[in-house]
Structure 1
Amino acid sequence: MDFSHELIVPEAGFPFKLFIFEGKDGNYYRDRHWHRSVEIFAVCGGELEFHIADRLWHLTPGEFMIVNSNEIHSVDSPLPNETIVLQIPLKLFENYYTGEQFVWFTHEPGRRDDRFMELIKALYRTYSEKPCGYDMKMNSIFYQIMYLLVKDYRLTEADDESVRRNKNLNRLSAITSYMKENYAGDITLEEVARVFDYSPNYLSRMFRKYAGITFKSYVQNIRLEYALKELESGKYSITEIAVRSGFSGSKALARAFQKKYGMLPSEYRSRMSGSVKKQKD
């Protein structure tokens, strides 16, 4: 299982981040990951699939998914879709915590789902059109969404195991953020353990137990994610990308890339170039 931590940065001037899902064109899969913010996917067209814990959720137009803070999940969008994503920093819910930095929302459909979807759509429409005073209108809509979240979707009881897991994933979030900042260097388990004042054995167990992945595999996944972005940009050669991403060379990158994505970096770059050319034509 390959899990990773995703860092969420709020929209400039607003206490949230709002955008159209990056998998809107289809043929997209986001590996299992987690983040400290609450994330809402509102499907307006097409379909999406979510894997959360051991359950599969299939979303169709008019449905949405609330992904909790530190909830490990993956997203699959094989076909084109229209999905609005709203990401809310966990801190905004601090008055409603049911445990230590812990708040939890249900995934089950609620009686106010139609109203909730209307508000998400209105928020994005206002953001896109930017009428006079749109910033005040957006904040007004956003806090109506927040009200429904805490009133109709928040669970008021938390079990000890969920709170404990949340606490440990919070710790891992800080560690993985550090790793993402230093992925290009010779980053080791011993070095990261020293920085965060853990023993290497304890840190290794934390990754296995709470993130479901080894430290070494996590580092490699980070490097592959950045290599993928560099390949898409077309700015550097594959050898340069390997070095910039922290691999020992192009052969090491090729082995890891093929194992994870089922093709060589050169094949992926060719496919991307062909796709861009087709769109231009």
Structure 2
Amino acid sequence: MKYEKIVPTGNYPCKIFTFYTKSPDRLIPSHWHGSGELLFCISGELEVTFKNTCYSLKENDLLFINSNIVHSSRSPIPGECLAIQFPLEYLAEATEGQYGKDFIFELTPKQQSNVLKELLLSIRKHFSKSSLAEHLLVKSNVYRLLSELCKEHLMSVANIKEIQSVKYLEKMREVNDYILQNYHRDLGIEEVAQVFSYNTSYFSRFYKKFMGITFTEYLHSIRLEAAYKELRDTDATILDIAYNSGFSTVKSFYNVFKKNYELSPQQYRQKYFKK
């Protein structure tokens, strides 16, 4: 699980892209970003998990993921999806400072919206074109999307027990950057808490509250990502991969890997990476 920096698509104030899922084994591991994200399943099926809930998007289903929410996705059935990622600064500007302060968006596959679907299909058709007229059409449709979301899909922050403040999110970004730089060695929660001047018990609660997962779960996910790449791209032994990724023993690497991938590292390499 890592922080992802969103860079807007050229000519637009947000990032717009389609992605095709060709394999049921496709998995986007847990990540988060400051941008809000609108997903539109055009065909196939997409499962998105956040806040301990799995949302299953089938053809024509929509889902909005609010800013700074840790989420992951997989594709049980191959297909095509459209994604629009709205930078937090743009959302704040477009909503006159109200997004995140007064409200967030609530849109799940159970909530149907023909207006949003028509706008998204139009954006999909025109966003990659090169003419100024089409760029303006897409920009106007993005504003219409936000207008429809503000009209029909608001959730007042007064109804939400915990809103992640910018102050704490910036601190979490610093903490996670430190973990990312040091995951490969013997790194524990006590060290990280001390580096950022926290009591260990408080830091443990603080981390879970604002990240939605524990410190150990995050550290394991970073180490797993590194191990996965080495498993895929090199002929290194399982022992070397375990130690290179920061796991203290092969057994701990095996247990964490199997819990997440349902196969041992060696079985996974043989099944997916050996030709």
- For the criterion TM > 0.5, the same-fold answer is yes
- What does residue 19 of structure 1 align with? 17
Q: Distance in 2 between matches of 1:86 and 1:10?
A: 11
- What does residue 162 of structure 2 align with? 162
- What does residue 237 of structure 1 align with? 236
Q: Distance in 1 between matches of 2:256 and 2:65?
A: 30
Q: Does the Cα contact within 8 Å between 2:193 and 2:200 map onto a contact in 1?
A: yes
Match of 1:39 among 37, 40, 48: 37
- What does residue 81 of structure 1 align with? 79
State whether structure 2 residue 268 is matched by structure 1 residue 268: yes
Per mean C-alpha deviation after superposition, the further-off stretch among 189-198 and 92-101 is 92-101
For 2:254, give the aligned amino acid: A
- What does residue 116 of structure 1 align with? 116
Q: Does the Cα contact within 8 Å between 1:123 and 1:141 map onto a contact in 2?
A: yes
SS in 2 for 1:203: helix
SS in 2 for 1:8: coil
Q: Distance in 2 between matches of 1:77 and 1:191?
A: 37
Q: CA deviation at 1:68?
A: 1.2
Per mean C-alpha deviation after superposition, the further-off stretch among 216-225 and 52-61 is 52-61
The one-character-per-residue Cα deviations of 1:161-211 (angstroms, maximum 9, x if unpaired) are: 232688756643442243234323443323322343322221112234444
Q: Distance in 2 between matches of 1:92 and 1:61?
A: 28
- What does residue 8 of structure 1 align with? 5
For 2:163, give the aligned amino acid: V
Unpaired segments ≥5 residues, structure 2: none
For 1:42, give the aligned amino acid: F
State whether structure 2 residue 200 is matched by structure 1 residue 203: no
Alignment root-mean-square deviation, CA: 3.4
Unpaired segments ≥5 residues, structure 1: none
Q: Distance in 2 between matches of 1:48 and 1:251?
A: 33
Q: Distance in 2 between matches of 1:5 and 1:153?
A: 28
Q: CA deviation at 1:56?
A: 4.8
Which has the larger strand fraction? Answer: 2
Identify if the C-alpha distance between structure 1 residues 203 and 24 changes in structure 2 by more than 3 Å, giving closer, same or farther.
farther
TM-score, structure 2 normalization: 0.78
Q: Distance in 1 between matches of 2:99 and 2:158?
A: 7
Identify if the C-alpha distance between structure 1 residues 249 and 121 changes in structure 2 by more than 3 Å, giving closer, same or farther.
farther
Per mean C-alpha deviation after superposition, the further-off stretch among 159-168 and 171-180 is 159-168
- What does residue 152 of structure 2 align with? 152
Q: Distance in 2 between matches of 1:56 and 1:242?
A: 30
Per mean C-alpha deviation after superposition, the further-off stretch among 144-153 and 75-84 is 144-153
Q: Does the Cα contact within 8 Å between 2:100 and 2:157 map onto a contact in 1?
A: no
The one-character-per-residue Cα deviations of 1:103-140 (angstroms, maximum 9, x if unpaired) are: 410125667x2232233233333344x33336555434
The one-character-per-residue Cα deviations of 1:36-93 (angstroms, maximum 9, x if unpaired) are: 3211110001123344546553322112101112335443421112111222222212
- What does residue 176 of structure 2 align with? 176
Q: Does the Cα contact within 8 Å between 1:230 and 1:241 map onto a contact in 2?
A: yes
The share of aligned pairs that are identical, in percent, is 30
SS in 2 for 1:216: helix
SS in 2 for 1:82: strand
Aligned residues: 269
For 2:8, give the aligned amino acid: E
SS in 2 for 1:85: strand
Q: Distance in 2 between matches of 1:150 and 1:70?
A: 19
Per mean C-alpha deviation after superposition, the further-off stretch among 249-258 and 89-98 is 249-258
For 1:78, give the aligned amino acid: P
Identify if the C-alpha distance between structure 1 residues 40 and 259 changes in structure 2 by more than 3 Å, giving closer, same or farther.
same
